[in-house]
Structure 1
Amino acid sequence: MMRFFINKERMGTRKYYKEFHDLTGYGFPEVPLFGAYRFDKAIEPLHIHTHSDFEICYLVEGRQNYRALGRDYLLKGGDLFITRPDEPHSTGKQPQEKGSLFWLHLMAPRKNRPFLGLHPRFSSDLYAGLSMIQEKCFRASPAVRELFERLYSQLEMPDTPSRKVTMGNLLVSLIIEITRCGEKPQRLEDRNLNKIIQFMNEKGESKISVPEMASFMEISSSRFKARFRQETGMPPAEYFLRLKVAKAREYLESGKGNVGDAALRYKFSSSQHFATAFKRFTGIQPSSVQNQKTNKQSPDVHPIPAASSGVLRTDSHALRAGRRFFIMKENQSRPKGRGIDPTKIKSKGRL
């Protein structure tokens, strides 16, 4: 198995990697999914779906937009994003961006049963603390990354009683640390940044200037541009352009209009300007996606099947058909170890 987050010398040999583990086989049925990915380029958006348990995402590096409960949240490296059971979420109209991320699913404790190795009297308190977090997106401490990496490294250790104890301690420490981070009040500027992201999404078919964005946040244009770039890694104008391209792609794939219609609808100065921006951010010409279905899969990857409409439900037991499975480019060899093709996993159905 490739340890792309732990062994820094080997990270460069695998530019695209996505890996899943069912920790039931390691003695922790409460964690039916523990995963990690690294993308060297943006890929197809993550379509709207739900889970029957908590999902905790930690963005190691890069940036990523997530959408939940009608709001967009822009994550940067070092941020956490949490969704509750049965809560629809996706990347909205944005692609899955270049970067690396850890995530895990956590099921609720069962009555009078141990939870992550804890006695039942303590397990309910641990889960309750996580459930009381109000913010969906917040800053993680350096300890969160360290705990994720240490947990990941245990997957390759020999199967011994000490490994199970170590993994249990790491999981409990991770949940406690995430809860502690979630209890901290979010900075006012962070809340305002999420508001401006929402504002941009609402204005996707309009023209908005940097002074308008700065006015919305009630700060100067220079401070707004510096703050936005610091948090997102790009100027506000580029982010808004990427957003318009994403919306235009969705419009073309729906078959509602042609390239010229999309350029006009999303306020590009010309069809050529639209085509240039589209190729820059997607790697393909807009004419190549015209009239395609929204859920057409990328040729480079094998994403988990997404519903063409409605909400895709992915329950934990659907992932237990194999201990782990992998998604990778077609020209890459499969890592050693047993695995299954995630495209063959059956979801429980649409809600």
Structure 2
Amino acid sequence: MKGLDKQSTKERFIIDLERLGFRSAKVIGKYNYREMKKGLEMHRHNDMLEIVFLDKGSQYYYIEGKDYHMTGGNILLTFPGEEHGTKGFPEEKGQLFWLIIHIPRNEQKLLNLRSIETKLLVDRLLQLNKNRLFKVPHGVKNDIEKIFQIYNNNENDVYKKIKITNLLLSFLLNIIAYGEKSSKITISDTFANICTFICDNIKEEISLTHLADKANLSLSHFKHRFKKEIGTTPMDFIMKNKINTAKIMLPEQKSVSGVAYELNFSSPSYFATVFKKYTSKNPSDYI
């Protein structure tokens, strides 16, 4: 089990809720990355629920042997004891919030609720395991942002704790409400087929105009629809898949230039630049 990260940096701000007097609510954090960072190592938190809200960007996670792709406005839940991380993929640029709660046991209380109220709230949260990834309205992040604003105010810690308690409870109730009524996130057949075509032809030069024609859309409308459904731009999707394919090919071929040309990059140097952008590593690191 990996210990909880409570160390803030310039790009990651983490509030240690235990220091404010919370027992079950452990940490709440956020990052706003302008570029990709090293991936999150696989780990697990026993007896803890982790709620991740991605405000902007896209992010890949691997939980208990299954892949999950988050886009802006998505909530992703990791339940107690589940192994999770990015499985070698980087933490991508974007804005993301996370909250970790220890599941109360044996009459323990959560956020000053009575024991019976705590049990009801926790049970409803844990029942969301059938649909751990779902979309929420943009306004859901308001409670989280207010928590960081209040924490940075010059009020005494007791008054901060009262305000933050109410905001955490409001956030959790919203998660339950939208999680219970949401359906699994799906992609239209048109864009599922487009993604399949890209993956099947990843070694070729893929024209966005050709993809738009396959979708029977204008180029501008295609780009807009692609980003709305897939969560990233068509070119970003193409490049990510080329780099993921390269990560498999490099250990086998042991030639950076060979892989670069086989994946239709204009030169090995351009390939290395793109590879570094998406993985924070050099292609030669995989040989």
Q: What's the TM-score bracket when you normalise by the shorter of the two chains?
A: 0.7 to 0.9
Given the alignment of the two structures, is residue 138 of structure 1 paired with residue 134 of structure 2, yes or no? yes
Give 5+ residue unaligned stretches, structure 2.
Answer: 1-8
The answer to which structure, 1 or 2, has the higher relative contact order (CA under 8 A, 6+ apart) is 1
Three-state SS of the structure 1 residue aligned to 2:44 is strand
**Cα distance change of structure 1 residues 156 and 285 upon mapping to structure 2, 3 Å threshold:** closer
Partners of 1:43 and 1:96 within 8 A in 2: yes
**Cα distance change of structure 1 residues 179 and 196 upon mapping to structure 2, 3 Å threshold:** farther
- 1:61 is matched with which residue? 56
- 1:259 is matched with which residue? 256
Structure 1 position 94, deviation (Å): 3.6
Q: How many Å separate the matches in 1 of 2:80 and 2:33?
A: 26
Given the alignment of the two structures, is residue 45 of structure 1 paired with residue 42 of structure 2, yes or no? no
Given the alignment of the two structures, is residue 184 of structure 1 paired with residue 181 of structure 2, yes or no? yes
Three-state SS of the structure 2 residue aligned to 1:290 is helix
1:152 to 148, 155, 176: 148
- Count of matched residue positions in the alignment of Structure 1 and Structure 2: 271
- 1:74 is matched with which residue? 69
Q: How many Å separate the matches in 2 of 1:286 and 1:98?
A: 12
Partners of 1:16 and 1:40 within 8 A in 2: no
Three-state SS of the structure 1 residue aligned to 2:274 is helix
The structure whose residues are more often helix, as a share, is 2
Q: What's the RMSD between the two structures over aligned residues?
A: 3.8
Q: How many Å separate the matches in 2 of 1:237 and 1:71?
A: 25
Give 5+ residue unaligned stretches, structure 1.
Answer: 1-14, 294-351
Q: How many Å separate the matches in 1 of 2:194 and 2:44?
A: 23
Deviations 1:33-73 (A, max 9, x none): 21111111112222322222111111122222223244433
Three-state SS of the structure 2 residue aligned to 1:75 is strand
Structure 1 position 221, deviation (Å): 5.1
**Cα distance change of structure 1 residues 234 and 37 upon mapping to structure 2, 3 Å threshold:** closer
Given the alignment of the two structures, is residue 85 of structure 1 paired with residue 80 of structure 2, yes or no? yes
- 1:167 is matched with which residue? 164
Deviations 1:285-329 (A, max 9, x none): 999441469xxxxxxxxxxxxxxxxxxxxxxxxxxxxxxxxxxxx
Partners of 1:204 and 1:247 within 8 A in 2: no
TM-score by length of 2: 0.76
- 1:346 is matched with which residue? none
